[in-house]
Amino acid sequence: MIGEIETNLLFHRMKYSAEFKQRVLQHYKEKTRGSGFLALAKRFDIKGGAGEVQRWYKRWTGSARSLERRPGSGRPQVLTKLEKKTHILKFVERCNKKGEVVDYPRVRQNVMNKTGKQISLREVRRIGREEFNIRWKRTTRTLMAQGTLLT
């Protein structure tokens, strides 16, 4: 049986490794109390529950390889890699060079104006944080003429 620490290591953002899925499914026994999909989901603390284990079982051919994520599966991205780089990363870099204050709503508006695509503020934040490692910081404004700080 898989220990709690091992389960936590294999679990990341609701994604499980193919090997972990394989080990869970090896415990499945049809029509045996305590070995069904619901029991396995509870025993291994599967966040998707019995339905998630059942989906794994439908894809399973007996090997861990059949449980790996297939290329091209899942929801398609709203923006292409080039659009992300051009309208998010480059936009933030341009604003930083000019010394302008830039925030997520402004970046989102830029993306929607340039691409004509609808994108959520949360998605813009995720792209900036996870794909480009953009770190947002508090800024202070200065009066260039006087050289004094405003807060």
DSSP one-letter string for 80-92: -HHHHIIIIIHHH
Give the chain's residues under pLDDT 50: 1-13
**Tens-digit pLDDT profile for residues 8-29:** 444 433 589 999 999 999 999 9
pLDDT of residue 95: 92
pLDDT of residue 69: 87
Of 98, 97, 89, 99, nearest to 135 (Cα)? 89
How far is 50 from 114, CA to CA, in rounded Å?
43
Encode burial over 116-130: b for 16+ CB neighbours within 10 A, e otherwise: eeebeeeebeebbee
